[in-house]
Chain A
Amino acid sequence: MSVMKSWRGLMVALCFALTTFAHAGEATPVGDDPVIQARMMRLAAVLRCLVCQNQTIADSHADLALDLRRQITEMMQQGKSDDEVMSFMVQRYGDFVLYRPPVKTTTVLLWFGPAALVLLGGLAFYRAARQRNLSSVEDEPLTPEQQQLADRLLREEEGAA
Chain B
Amino acid sequence: MMRFWPLGLFLALVGFLYVGLFRDPHEIPSPLIGKPAPGFNLPTLQDPAQKVSREALLGHVYMVNVWASWCVSCRDEHPLLVEFAKQHPMEIYGLDYKDTRPEAMAWLGQLGNPYQAALFDADGRVGIDFGVYGVPESFVVDKKGVIRYKQIGPFTPEALNNTLLPLLQKLNSET
Contacts and interface: CB of A to CB of B under 8 A. Distances in A.
Interface of A: 50-51, 53, 63-64, 67-68, 71, 90-96, 124
Interface string B15-46: 00000000001101111100000000000000
B28 A96 contact: yes
A95 B125 CA distance: 20
A95 B30 CA distance: 10
A9 to B, nearest CB: 42
A71 B125 CA distance: 9
Given A50-B133, A91-B32, 14 more contacts: A51-B133, A53-B25, A53-B26, A63-B98, A64-B133, A67-B128, A68-B128, A71-B125, A71-B128, A92-B31, A92-B128, A93-B31, A94-B29, A96-B29
B175 to A, nearest CB: 28
Nearest to B6: A124
A90 B31 contact: yes
A51 B26 CA distance: 8
Nearest to A93: B131
B155 interface: no
13 contacts: A50-B133, A50-B134, A51-B133, A51-B134, A53-B25, A67-B123, A68-B128, A92-B31, A92-B128, A92-B129, A92-B131, A93-B31, A94-B29
B153 interface: no
Contacts of B125: 71
Nearest to B134: A51
